[in-house]
Structure 1
Amino acid sequence: MGAAVAACAVSAGARVLWCPIGRSAATRDRAEQAGLEPVAELSGLLEQSDVVLSLCPPAAAEDVARDVAERGFAGVYAEGNAISPERSRRIADLVGRSATVVDGAVIGSPPIAGKTARLYLSGPSDATALVGALFTGTAVSTPVLGEDIGQASALKISYTAYQKASRVLAALSYGLAQHHQVDQALLEVAGKRQGSYLTETGYIPKTAARAWRWAPELKEAADTLQAAGLPDEVLRAVAETLGRWTDAKDNGELSVDSALKMLQEPR
């Protein structure tokens, strides 16, 4: 997602930098294909940047923000990760000592091959306008939700709670039906309801391959529910279920049967 979003900014005329320290060969290839310019040190990258857009696994969001804050970055810091509103505000307190912070949330597929994504924004109007201008005329639209830090993150987490948990529940339902040899009947029943995830069995391996990223997002969603005084047990259980697919990380060759077998393995 990060490389695809960055490539859109490049296509709109922005000069986009990245720091290759500690990154994999695959990441380096994606950055090169996206037209990003490597900068050897983070400090040098920040000195040349007006805007920093953080798109990383949720668990790393505060570490990235801390690295930027320690170097006194004074531009606009767009926090675009799938984290709770509370963590977004903590990051804003941390980075906001020197920078202007924008809360962001990407919803949609990576904007490549005709696909589009929305980068929802909230924060000071001049800063959200600056971030939005980076993607003018591209496959990334930038709706602004308001000026409060946490609004964009709340939208992302609210959407994640339903969309990703539904995919996991669909996999469990199909696995149960398959175990009892009624999977075809289940598909026939589900097919009568428009847009049911139960009919999209081909998505089960995709869910497994993305579980390493989705589980932390569901934990963020559970924390957000808890903070709102709402029951969080369901999403914590979904995150635990996703943990059974840890070994399927980015496995594009996984079959439906193999993914379901992994759910049956004892923990």
Structure 2
Amino acid sequence: SMLYPSMMFRLNNIDPVKAGEAWRTIPALMEKAEAAGEHRFPRKAAIVRPQRSQIEWRVNFTQLARPDGAAINGLEADDLTRGEIEGRRQVVEAFNFLRTVPGFENSYIVDLPPQLGIRETRRVIGGHMLSGEDVLGCGSFDDSIGVNGWPIESHVAGDVIFTFPPIPQSRGFNELPYRMLVPEGIDNLLVAGRCASMTHDGQSAARVSGACFAMGEAAGTAAALALDGNASPRHIDVGTLQSRLRHHGAFIGRDQVVPEGL
């Protein structure tokens, strides 16, 4: 039940005035196109958003599966090859549909990624495994080194289902404990990103870019503190780590004032 990989791409030469808030209308246009038999889409929850320039949009329309419908396995070379080929085929199909959307008529594919986007493979087991309950319960941790604001994703064949913490009843984000970066049973190793210590549900939320940025900065800072103090990462002073992260502008939750817009 791993998360499905995707083949992202970017479109250029879009008319921002005609396109407007196309991300709101595209789902209905997809349903209409499928009902008419004009297009078939690998997933319903397509993401199409403008970049800063407004004439360029990023597109996440794909879902890469094995012939049996299970997710492409990012650890298997044959699966990765299948995903690279099928991903490009799905990109072309998505592009052909998007050219029918107002504002996208003269668009073109400006680039594809150098490799398939893998969401989930192996993970370490650390001092704490971030769980789905931590995400939906907006968990707090004494050793927080950052926060995650992305919801839980449930990947099913043909769709992605998002489960958010209750808003406005909750603050809408969870803290990330330093312990999830420190594997059990091995010293002098820090693991940041999608491979950190998380359950399947917790990883579906905290594997995204924002949380990975936070984990990466914390791991780098912790490594420097370990070297300075001649200690293993497991035994550094977490309070010092948190102070240094806050000094550098990181938001770690805890007693900090929530930045505007978070």
- Give the structure with the higher percent helix: 1
When the two structures are superposed, what TM-score results if normalisation uses the length of structure 2? 0.25
Greater relative CO (CA pairs within 8 A, separation 6+) = 2
When the two structures are superposed, what TM-score results if normalisation uses the length of structure 1? 0.25
